[in-house]
């Protein structure tokens, strides 16, 4: 999306949605990182997507300090 965060360590990590993500919604995901699990605000990588609670997602962009853009990790 054109942002230079200087920290790509989050990109490619898997997480689980803990608050529905979608148009007009700021969702939440939990990601295992730095020896623990941390919560991040989350938006869909594709603006019109809706990603339900419990879905496994992949982080595709990280905006420090606590925001990620995600996409579903697996197609059903």
Which tens digit of pLDDT belongs to each residue from 11-65? 999 999 999 999 989 999 999 998 899 999 999 999 999 999 999 999 999 999 9
Listed as own residue / partner, the contacts of 45-53 with beta carbons closer than 8 Å and 24 or more positions apart are: 45/69, 45/70, 45/71, 46/71, 47/23, 48/23, 49/21, 49/22, 50/20, 50/21, 50/22, 50/23, 50/25, 51/17, 51/20, 51/21, 51/22, 51/27, 52/17, 52/20, 53/17, 53/18, 53/19, 53/20
* Position 2 confidence tier, pLDDT thresholds 50, 70, 90: very low
pLDDT value of residue 7: 55
Task: Give the model's pLDDT for residue 75.
Answer: 61
Question: Can you give the pTM of this predicted structure?
Answer: 0.85
Q: Is the pLDDT higher at 30 or at 5? A: 30
């Amino acid at each position: 999306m054109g942002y230079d965060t200087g920290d790509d360590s989050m990109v490619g990590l898997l997480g689980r949605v803990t608050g529905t993500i979608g148009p007009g919604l700021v969702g939440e995901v939990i990601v295992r990182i730095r020896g623990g699990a941390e919560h991040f605000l989350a938006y869909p990588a594709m603006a019109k997507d809706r990603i339900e609670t419990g879905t496994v997602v992949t982080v595709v962009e990280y905006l420090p300090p606590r925001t990620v853009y995600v996409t579903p990790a697996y197609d059903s």
